[in-house]
């Protein structure tokens, strides 16, 4: 623990710092690490648990247990995609609660409690408890994710604080540390000992994160406890009235569906996937048509729409790493090395490991190229990311074609696919965050950041609709179509890079 060089910085306490940063960063680092530990632990187990005991389950290896929900892979992929889309969709109301109702600190604490309750509910056997638990985790994640990053920013003296970027880098490492460890702990226990014990461990992880957040909150900046733009009494009553009306409509509608015996899971999943597409599109259209924006702002938004569409295609393929690719790893990939067996959920640790190893290298690469005036433009990075993502699924076709007649392929195929996903992610995800802050009109600076996260929702919603519609995402035909779409999109972005750049004014 080093002495602070900037004792008057927000979040500093008693002259102490955390790796040269405000002490509150340690609190937020650990909170995010444990939240991601629980989130990615569930993510590693989810599809494997859903198909266990069913026709698409893998034979497993030593200690692999059955006892899942015995669903088809198509149903499992749809559920996973809708769940993931909903998590990011709920970041919008989560941010609203932080800004207008509770303030970021209270919203994060409430979100953590809901996440923990969700995992505890998942620990109970039964299909009903599973879906209730999954809904609670998605709700809590939306509340927490939308607000914790803002609290990191509040620790520093504005955008000019030289420690700010480094603080977010450390925070980002907390995300990937939790993501990397989760499959080894939660995945192993859930897949080889008891599914519900694995879910319970996820609750323990979130519980540890919550306890240290409450204990360490004294080191956070006081602004994190404030409500930036509180609702007036009139606004509060209006929101409550509208919420109750929509709740009543939903209760009546689904009550009729259940009473008539026509309810299926699609009655819940289809509306969510449709909303996952309509909401981000609607928000982009609303911003683009705002007559208060200048011509330059309008041009930047035109360019931004290209980036949003590219990101949605990227996430459509990337997030199948925990569904289509994971299911292939469980059923048709060897999970033994030199006679040593490992749970297939460990495949989910490959991506965060590569991010931890490669992120510093990519950051150094961009700086080195920038000094030589050879750094690729934002459009070039996006085009490259899309092409690499598409090629990863062309690579995926090879082991899919090899795994016939009970043959299991080498796990190195999945390592290669996840490596390609990581390279593409490092060219698109942080670059997308950066370009969002550059292109956002001042009037929509915060809202457009929320829209950027909705690209994940849009991508997963497309996957969910395909699965619900009956498309078999685990066939070489569908995989090749998705791969071709990503590659063609990348080529299109590259070919039209000058036109896109021309709309972005001075932004490169």
- Say if residue 225 is exposed, middle or buried (CB neighbours under 10 Å; 0-12, 13-18, 19+): middle
* Global model pTM greater than 0.95: no
Q: Cα dist. 265→30, 131, 149, 268, 272 in Å?
A: 36, 10, 34, 6, 11
121 and 222 fall within a common domain:
yes
Q: In the prediction, which pLDDT does 498 show?
A: 81
> Strands, DSSP E only, in 77-204?
none
Cα 379 to the center of its chain, rounded Å? 22
CA distances from 284 to 289, 363, 415, 458, 490 (A): 9, 30, 36, 12, 21
Per-residue pLDDT at 293: 87
d(CA 195, CA 293): 52
In degrees, rounded to 5, the angle at the alpha carbon of residue 503 between the alpha carbons of residues 498 and 508 is 65
- What's the pLDDT at 223? 85
Residue 206 and residue 133 share a domain: yes
Q: Contact, 185 vs 40, CB < 8 A?
A: no
- Statement: residue 4 has pLDDT above 60: no
Q: Are 26 and 151 members of one domain?
A: yes
| Residue that is written with structure tokens 């008539």 in the block | 260
Same domain assignment for residues 211 and 247: no
Residues 324, 224, single domain; the answer is no
Count other Cβ atoms within 10 Å, centred on residue 240.
11
Q: Are residues 201 and 277 in the same domain?
A: no
Q: Does 355 map to a domain? A: yes
Report yes or no on 1 lying in a domain: no
Contact 441, 287 (CB under 8 A): yes
Interacting residues of 508 by C-beta distance below 8 A, sequence separation 6+: 377, 378, 501
Give pLDDT tens digits for 424-447.
999 998 888 778 877 888 778 767
Q: Retrieve residue 126's tokens.
A: 């039964």
In a domain, 7, yes or no: no
377 assigned to some structural domain: yes
Q: Is residue 443 part of a domain?
A: yes
The pair of three-digit structure tokens given for residue 139, joined into one six-digit string = 């709700």
Let me know whether 225 and 360 are in one domain.
Answer: no
**Same domain (yes/no): 248, 295:** no
Residue 151 has pLDDT above 90, yes or no: no
Taking 90 as the threshold, does the pLDDT of residue 221 lie above it?
no
Distance of alpha carbon 454 from alpha carbon 443, whole angstroms: 19
Return the SS3 of 156: coil
pLDDT at 343: 93
Residue 5 placed within a domain: no
- Give the highest mean pLDDT range of 57-61, 92-96, 205-209: 205-209
In the chain, the N- to C-terminal Cα span, in Å, equals: 39
* Nearest alpha-carbon partner for 321 in 486, 460, 178: 460
Q: Say if residue 72 is in the same domain as residue 169.
A: yes
DSSP SS3 for 21: strand
348-366 mean pLDDT: 90
**Calpha distance 498→223 (Å, rounded):** 42
Residues 277 and 238 in one domain: no
**Does residue 65 belong to any structural domain of this protein?**
yes
Are the beta carbons of 81 and 323 closer than 8 angstroms?
A: yes
CA quadruple 496, 85, 93, 245: dihedral sign: positive
pLDDT of residue 215: 93
| Together in a domain, 402 and 269 | yes
Q: pLDDT band at residue 366, thresholds of 50, 70 and 90?
A: confident
Specify the CATH number for the domain of residue 480.
1.20.1250.20
* Cα–Cα dist 467/403, whole Å: 22
According to the model, what pLDDT value does residue 503 have? 67
How confident is the model at residue 441, as a pLDDT? 83
pLDDT over 70 (residue 60): no
Question: In the chain, what percentage of residues exceed pLDDT 90?
Answer: 59
Per-residue model confidence (pLDDT) at position 504: 63
State the Cα–Cα distance between residues 98 and 102, nearest whole angstrom. 5
Residue 461 belongs to what domain range? 264-508
Predicted local distance difference test score (pLDDT) of residue 294: 86
Contacts of 251 (CB under 8 A, 6+ apart): none
Residues in the chain: 508
Instruction: Give the chain's domain count.
Output: 3
pLDDT at 8: 45
Confidence of residue 415 (pLDDT cuts 50, 70, 90): very high
Which residue, of 220, 242, 263, is where some domain finishes?
263
CA distances from 173 to 26, 178, 360 (A): 12, 9, 10
Average pLDDT of the residues in 464-473: 93
User: Residues 6 or more apart from 360 whose CB is under 8 A from it?
Assistant: none
H helices then E strands: how many in the chain?
Answer: 18, 4
Indicate the pairing of strand 17-18 with strand 21-22.
antiparallel
Position 13 pLDDT exceeds 60: no
The structure tokens 């990397």 sit at 180
Q: What is the CA radius of gyration of the chain?
A: 23
Q: Are residues 168 and 239 in the same domain?
A: no
């Amino acid at each position: 623990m080093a002495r602070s060089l900037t004792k008057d910085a927000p979040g500093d306490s008693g002259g102490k710092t955390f790796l040269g940063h405000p002490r509150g960063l340690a609190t937020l680092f650990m909170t995010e690490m444990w939240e991601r530990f629980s989130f990615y632990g569930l993510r590693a187990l989810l599809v494997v648990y859903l198909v266990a005991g069913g026709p698409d389950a893998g034979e497993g290896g030593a200690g692999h247990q059955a006892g899942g929900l015995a669903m088809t892979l198509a149903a499992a992929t749809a559920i996973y995609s809708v769940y993931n889309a909903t998590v990011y969709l709920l970041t919008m109301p989560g941010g609203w609660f932080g800004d207008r109702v509770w303030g970021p600190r209270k919203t994060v604490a409430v979100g953590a409690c809901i996440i923990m309750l969700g995992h505890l509910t998942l620990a109970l056997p039964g299909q009903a408890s599973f879906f209730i638990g999954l809904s609670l985790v998605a709700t809590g994640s939306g509340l927490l994710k939308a607000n914790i990053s803002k609290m990191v920013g509040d620790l520093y003296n504005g955008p000019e604080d030289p420690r700010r970027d480094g603080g977010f880098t450390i925070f980002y490492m907390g995300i990937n540390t939790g993501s990397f460890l989760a499959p080894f702990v939660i995945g192993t226990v859930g897949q080889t000992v008891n599914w519900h014990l694995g879910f319970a461990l996820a609750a323990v992880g979130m519980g540890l994160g919550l306890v240290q957040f409450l204990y360490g909150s004294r080191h956070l900046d006081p602004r994190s406890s404030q409500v930036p733009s509180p609702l007036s009494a009139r606004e509060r009553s209006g929101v409550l009235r509208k919420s109750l009306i929509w709740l009543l409509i939903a209760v009546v509608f689904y009550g009729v569906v259940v009473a008539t015996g026509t309810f299926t899971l699609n009655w819940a999943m289809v509306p969510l996937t449709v909303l996952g597409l309509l909401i981000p599109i609607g928000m982009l259209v609303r911003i683009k048509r705002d007559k208060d924006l200048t011509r330059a702002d309008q041009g930047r938004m035109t360019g931004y729409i290209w980036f949003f569409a590219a990101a949605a295609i990227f996430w459509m393929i990337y997030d199948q790493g925990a569904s289509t690719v994971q299911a292939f790893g469980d059923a048709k990939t060897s999970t033994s090395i030199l006679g040593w067996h490992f749970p297939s959920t460990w495949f989910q640790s490959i991506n965060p490991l590569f991010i931890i190893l490669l992120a510093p290298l990519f950051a150094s690469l961009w700086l080195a190229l920038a000094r030589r005036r050879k750094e690729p433009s934002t459009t070039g990075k996006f085009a490259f990311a899309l092409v690499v993502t598409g090629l990863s699924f062309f690579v995926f076709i090879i082991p899919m074609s090899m795994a016939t007649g009970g043959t299991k392929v080498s796990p190195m195929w999945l390592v290669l696919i996840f490596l390609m996903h990581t390279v593409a992610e490092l060219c698109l995800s942080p670059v997308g965050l950066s370009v969002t802050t550059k292109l956002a009109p001042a009037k929509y600076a915060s809202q457009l950041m929320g829209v950027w996260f909705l690209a994940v929702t849009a991508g997963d919603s497309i996957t969910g609709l395909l699965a619900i519609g009956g498309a078999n995402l685990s066939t070489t035909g569908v995989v090749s179509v998705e791969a071709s779409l990503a590659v063609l999109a990348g080529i299109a972005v590259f070919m039209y890079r000058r036109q896109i750049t021309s709309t972005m004014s001075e932004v490169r």
